[in-house]
Homo-oligomer: A and B are copies of this chain.
Amino acid sequence: MSEYIEPIETLAEKFRRLPGVGKKSAVRMAFSVLDMSEEDARAFSEAILSAKTKVRRCSVCGNMTDEELCSVCRDSGRDRSLICVVENSRDVITFERVREYRGLYHVLGGVISPVRGVGPSDLSTDSLLKRLSNGTVREVIIATNPTVEGETTAMYISRLISPLGVKATRLAYGVPVGSDLEYADEVTLNRAIEGRREIK
């Protein structure tokens, strides 16, 4: 016999699958649902289904949207000659938070990872190449993560792009602004030295 009655057990199991939720937290969450008003529980239940069914990929860049095009692609004020290639929609949000970047995005939907069985064909590279074919785009910033897999993917994409005569760039590596050099790892520090700039 399980410790909790079935509906609570089932719900706790669902919460358990969320990132960062352990067994005890999942049970606490399940009990907290019982403490909600029925209206709130209903709204919660609907929000899950609604997020899952309404959210889809932008037909141009692959970013998350609840319309045909994402908010960036819809925005007429964006620089259409510049595309920033990112791993996922969360990276788009990170860039948008900075408010400095005014170009478009292209969401790959992952990185090449033999370990996880993700190959180049699993990424949205075809749609990227299609976007580059009409000559509007001058530069592609490849902003995959600075990990081995991110680097491999960046390499792969830059090679795909080069025959098209579009400039491919990569984010600068270096020490984070406001950080302490003491805590920088060797690789980052080496990259920071390699990429040093003249003070004018």
A residues in contact (CB < 8 Å) with B: 1, 3-8, 10-11, 13-15, 17-21, 25, 28-34, 36, 38, 40-55, 64-66, 71, 89-90, 93, 96-97
B66 near A51 with CB under 8 A, answer no
What is the interface of chain A mostly: helix, strand, loop, or mixed?
helix
| Distance from A63 Cβ to chain B, minimum over Cβ atoms (Å) | 9
Given contacts A14-B43, A33-B51, contact A3 B66 (CB under 8 A): no
Contact of A42 among B4, B40, B49, B97 (CB under 8 A): B49
A46 near B47 with CB under 8 A, answer no
A64 near B32 with CB under 8 A, answer no
B29 near A19 with CB under 8 A, answer yes
A30 to B55 CA separation, bound complex (whole angstroms)? 11
Given contacts A19-B32, A28-B20, contact A4 B52 (CB under 8 A): no
A11 near B45 with CB under 8 A, answer no
Q: Which residue of B lies closest to A96 (CB)?
A: B3
